[in-house]
Amino acid sequence: MHGILYEDNFVNFLIVTVILGGAAAWMTGRARALTWRPYATLLLYLVILAAAVRFIHFAPLEGTLLSVHYYLVDFAVVLIIGFLGYRHTRMKQMTSRYAWLFKPVGPLAWKNND
């Protein structure tokens, strides 16, 4: 049975795309932020990561490799998680390295010390 988010099985989607792909996306976002790279470089790496997630659905799980719809779903998931990892790491960097200038405002944002 095909769904909007998954091809055959929701558990496969959850394990491969959300957990494995999400963990890789978080670490990719974290690595890009730790090296002070811009968002554009992260986007390039996440495009490649989404293709790898699609391949994992294809090879062992017998999913469709060249499905634009499911590639875009995988890309959306890794994009969201990757940007969350990037932003969280950048918030920690800004508030720890420039503590006299910034203070944290939640897990993803910072503001000027006033």
Q: Which domain covers residue 61, as residue numbers?
A: 10-112
Domain-located, residue 104? yes
Cα gap 5→29, rounded to integer Å = 23
Beta strands in the chain, from DSSP E residues, in sequence order? 102-104, 110-112
Q: What pLDDT was estimated at residue 64?
A: 79
Q: Is 56 a member of any domain? A: yes
Please report whether residue 3 resides in a domain: no
What is the Cα–Cα distance from 72 to 98, expressed in whole angstroms?
A: 37
The residue with greater pLDDT, 11 or 20, is: 20
Q: How many domains, in total, are found in the chain?
A: 1
DSSP state of 15: I
Residue 76 lies in a domain: yes
Determine, yes or no, domain membership for 95: yes
Q: What pLDDT, in 10s, does the model give residues 89-113?
A: 999 999 999 989 999 998 888 888 8
29-88 pLDDT, tens digit per residue, is 999 999 999 989 999 999 999 999 999 988 888 777 888 988 999 999 999 999 999 999
Structure tokens at 101: 């200038």
Q: What is the distance of C-alpha 100 from the center of its chain?
A: 30
Residue 4: inside a domain, yes or no?
no
Please give the pLDDT value at position 9: 80
Give φ, ψ of 40 to 5 degrees: -60, -40
Domain assignment present for 75: yes
Residue 5 covered by a domain: no
Prediction pTM value: 0.87
> Is residue 5's pLDDT more than 80?
no
Task: Give CA separation, 80 vs 21, 24, 49, 107, in Å.
Answer: 11, 12, 13, 15
The whole-number pLDDT of residue 73 equals 92
Asked whether the beta carbons of 29 and 86 are under 8 A apart, the reply is yes
pLDDT of residue 47: 96
